[in-house]
Amino acid sequence: MRKKNWLKRLYRQGILISLFLIFTVPFGVVVQQLTDEIGISVEFAQRERSGLRYNYRLRVFLEQLIQQHQLFFSYYQGESSFKPDLLKKQADIAAAVKAVDAVDRDLGATLKTTAKWQKIRQSSQTLSNNLLTLSPDSSLSLHASLISDVRSLIADVGDASNLILDPDLGSYYLMDGVVTKIPSMIEQSVQVMTLGTTIVKRSPTTQEKVRLLSASNAIQSNLNAIQRGTGVAFAANPDLKPAIEPFIADSEISAKELLKLIRITSFQIREVGSLEFAQIGDWAITDQFKLYDTFSPVLDRLLQARADRFTEKQQRVRGFAVLIFIALLGVVVLLLRNQMQRRNTEMTLREQENLLHMAMNAAHMGAWEWNLATSEGKWSNEVVGLFGLDPETFSGDSEAFNERVHPDDRVLNEQAVQQVLKSGGEYRTEYRTIWEDGSVHWLTSVGSLVRNKPGQPLLLTGVTMDITDRKSAEAAIQQAEEKYRSIFENAVDGIFQTTPAGHFLSANPALARIYGYDSPGELIASLSHQIDHELYVDPDRR
């Protein structure tokens, strides 16, 4: 029995734990998938920042390369005073190359840039080693090729780092500026400045005019795209406007001056000097680099803010999941605790019930309950046994009890019930039962009414006790009394009972006749206070 109860408790606990796992395991999987998705967004933004970091080093290298190009062009045109600056610029380029080397060691494998950067690095080294010995055309061609390769690498980094896939309007057009539009404007501006400075001293050829106008259109197209894109970005994030708009305006002014100079040169509206072309070109390029330097840190802050938002969201999801897990665990622990308390309570009640059954069995007593509304009854096994029925096969039908009641006592039982329902009070009745073997057993039932709040009777509950032994004892006593009375009445000798004070309690007819009385009553009435004088004449015998 104990093993069976233990298995039952283990089964219930297993159900609770299984329900806990059935809910928490899928919930945990969903939460993990959600946090992984959020983590992808965080990683996406951080990868964009990595690309931005790499491109900024390329931007510095590009600026140094363009400045070297400008210095060489001036030196080529006979400005020998630029030679020291040109040699110094080679040191600046070497420092910029080292900076790109460092970032490529960190990110090259991730962004797949190492091979292309090494090619650019080798070309830059070749140019630096032979800068003053190369022919002007070769040097200018190498510079132009390097500038184009660097711009292409910037675009490749944008692709590999997901910058080109940026999902937010507020940051997408800034990304478009630093990855494609501004580097393209810079490259076109360098081409325009180089070509314009070359042809101002002569009439441009048709091919040169086409190149100038093509570069002019590219610069204007990029500038328009930047203005249109930043307008969308400002609408999505108005806080960007104060930091960026002034630099766009400056870049627009210098770019328009350069475009104006291109038209003048192409259509020979007036004579333009090479210095004027170089100054305006340098002005436009400088403003474009400033625009890049404005876009890049703002974009980096936006990407970091996005990563922080996703990280915070990820932490909130995990925190919520932990709270749910703790709450569910608390519920399971509470249910297990309640189950244990219930088990302990059941054990206590079972022990008390066993003690009660033992007491009832010892007293030949059982408990019962009768529902007055449904006329349904509940009886303990002891009550069923008192009626001579088998608890294992008893159907619970109240008629089975009535059939066992002695026919002469059924009406009395019904009257007792009706009396209780009518006037309240205690239900008490004694009756006989006849078992299948024909034996007669005396029972007594004692009960009381249970009422609802309005006072209407709901239940009649009580106990039934076997009083057969008591009834047998009473019958034996009565039989003995009758026997004694017969002897007392029919004896030929006088028999009487008195108190110590001399009062007669009883006397038989023989004693009355002996003393000349007609009945024992007359004898008791006459001699009650002088029994010692009347019965014993001799004082010594009194």
Domain boundary among 425, 444, 473: 473
pLDDT for 435: 87
Same domain, yes or no, for 466 and 318? Answer: no
Instruction: Find all residues with CB under 8 Å of 429, minimum gap 6, and list them.
Output: 412, 413, 416, 444, 445
Two structure tokens written together for 314: 């990820």
Total structural domains within the chain: 3
Does the pLDDT at position 542 exceed 50?
no
pLDDT for 368: 78
pLDDT for 348: 78
Q: Band the pLDDT of 1: cuts 50, 70, 90.
A: very low
DSSP string, 100-144: HHHHHHHHHHHHT-HHHHHHHHHHHHHHHHTTTTS-HHHHHHHHH
Same domain, yes or no, for 272 and 420? Answer: no
Average pLDDT over all residues of the chain? 83
Higher pLDDT, 525 or 143: 143
The 10 Å Cβ neighbour count of residue 15 is 11
CA distance 179 to 195: 25
Does the pLDDT at position 416 exceed 60?
yes
pLDDT for 375: 74
Does the pLDDT at position 193 exceed 50?
yes
- 427-444: average pLDDT: 86
Residue 412's region, left for phi above 0, alpha for psi from -120 to 50, else beta, is alpha
Same domain, yes or no, for 280 and 165? Answer: yes
Does the pLDDT at position 2 exceed 70?
no
Instruction: Find all residues with CB under 8 Å of 244, minimum gap 6, and list them.
Output: 174, 230, 234, 294, 295, 298
Does the pLDDT at position 3 exceed 60?
no
Digit-coded pLDDT (tens) for 337-374: 887 887 777 777 777 766 666 656 666 677 878 787 77
- Contact by Cβ (8 Å): 163, 179: yes
Does residue 11 fall inside a structural domain?
no
Same domain, yes or no, for 273 and 377? Answer: no
Does residue 74 fall inside a structural domain?
yes
Q: Band the pLDDT of 52: cuts 50, 70, 90.
A: very high
Digit-coded pLDDT (tens) for 15-36: 767 776 777 778 778 888 888 8
Digit-coded pLDDT (tens) for 98-131: 999 999 999 999 999 999 999 999 999 998 888 8
Handedness of CA 195, 198, 204, 207 (dihedral sign): negative
Does residue 359 fall inside a structural domain?
no
| Residue of 7, 22, 73, 47 lying closest to 300 (CA atoms) | 47
- 51-76: average pLDDT: 90
Domain boundary among 325, 348, 381: 325
Same domain, yes or no, for 466 and 505? Answer: no
- 48-58: average pLDDT: 95
Does residue 12 fall inside a structural domain?
no
Q: Band the pLDDT of 250: cuts 50, 70, 90.
A: very high
pLDDT for 541: 47
pLDDT for 359: 59
Same domain, yes or no, for 412 and 524? Answer: no
Distance of CA 141 to the CA centre of its chain: 65
| Residue of 178, 336, 192, 183 lying closest to 258 (CA atoms) | 192
pLDDT for 528: 61
CATH of the domain at 450: 3.30.450.20
- End-to-end, the C-alpha distance of the chain in Å comes to 78
Does residue 99 fall inside a structural domain?
yes
Does residue 254 fall inside a structural domain?
yes
CA distance 175 to 52: 9
Higher pLDDT, 457 or 235: 235
Same domain, yes or no, for 197 and 320? Answer: yes
* Containing structural domain, residue 503: 491-541
Same domain, yes or no, for 89 and 221? Answer: yes
Percent of the chain surpassing pLDDT 90:
30
Does the pLDDT at position 242 exceed 80?
yes
CA distance 468 to 366: 15
Torsion of CA 143, 147, 148, 153, to 10 degrees: 140
Same domain, yes or no, for 500 and 401? Answer: no
CA distance 200 to 190: 15
Does residue 280 fall inside a structural domain?
yes
Same domain, yes or no, for 87 and 44? Answer: yes
Does the pLDDT at position 536 exceed 60?
no
Same domain, yes or no, for 382 and 309? Answer: no
pLDDT for 198: 78
Does residue 482 fall inside a structural domain?
no
Same domain, yes or no, for 296 and 369? Answer: no
